[in-house]
Amino acid sequence: MNYESLQASIQKLIGHYTTPEFKDELIHAKKEFFDNTGSLDENKSHFNLRMFQFYEWYFLTRPLRNYMKTPLVVCELHRDLRLTDEDMQAIEILKTQHHSFFEFIKSKKEFILVKDLVTNKKLEVHQSELVFGFDQKEYFQARIITMNGQYCFLKSFCFHPESAQKFILSQIKEHQKNPDLNIEELLLRLNKMRYKFEQYKHVKPEMIYTNENKLGL
C-alpha cells in the first residue's frame, strides 16, 4: 500500500462516521474538541490544518458514545462500510499510530529526522505532505504511523512557538514521572494553548502557556 491509497481509505473510513447516522455523535465531538482547543474560523489560514486535527482525533482517539471504543476499533463491525482489502490494510496501519510531541532535527532528501520528546527516540520519517514549515525552534504535535517498515506522518500538525518550549518540556517530564497521566489530555490541552496564543497575540506567551491561567483565557 502506498501513501495515496492509505489517505483514500482514511477519507472513506472517516467519511462513514460523518454521515447522518452519526450526526449527533459528530455534533458532540466537534463541541468537545473545539471547546477544548478554541473556536474554529473558516477565514483563518490554519482552518484546514485544524480540521485534519479534529478528524484524526475523532477517528483515532475519541471513543464513540454508543460503543465506548474509537471508530478505528469498531469500523470492522460496520458491514455497510464495504471494506476492501486496501481498507483493511489501512486499518492495520492506523493501529500503529503514535501521537506525541516532536522536535525537528534535520531534513534530508529521503527523510526528515525528528525526536519524540516523550520517548526521547529519534525517528526517520519518510513520508510527509508537509515538506516545509519545520523549524528547529518549534516543537510540534503530530501522529506517526508505520507503513512498509517506515515511519510516516499523518496530516494533522500543531506547531508551538519557541517561547513555549520550556513549559512543554516541564509538562512532558511530569508525564514521564507519572505514566498514569493521560498523554492525549496533555496534547489536547497544549493544542488549546497554541490557538489561544494565535488569538491573543497581544498577551505574553508565558501567560497562555501556563497551568495557572490567571487571565481566564
Task: Give pLDDT tens digits for 7-66.
Answer: 999 999 999 999 999 999 999 999 888 876 666 666 666 788 889 999 999 999 999 998
pLDDT in the model for residue 107: 83
At 190, the amino acid letter reads L
pLDDT in the model for residue 197: 87
List CB contacts of 210: < 8 A, sequence separation 6 or more. Answer: 167
- The whole-chain average pLDDT of the chain stands at 88
Angle at 179 between CA 213 and CA 33, to 5 degrees: 50
- The domain limits of the chain are 3-94, 98-159, 162-208
Task: Give pLDDT tens digits for 147-197.
Answer: 999 999 999 999 999 999 999 999 999 999 987 888 999 999 999 899 888
Task: Give pLDDT tens digits for 87-136.
Answer: 999 999 999 999 999 999 988 878 889 999 999 999 999 866 655 556 66
Neighbours of 210 (CB within 10 A): 15
pTM higher than the cut 0.85: yes
- Select the CATH number that applies to the domain covering 98-159 from these four: 2.40.50, 2.60.40, 3.40.91, 1.10.3470: 2.40.50
pLDDT in the model for residue 150: 93
pLDDT in the model for residue 135: 67
% residues pLDDT > 70 (the chain)? 88
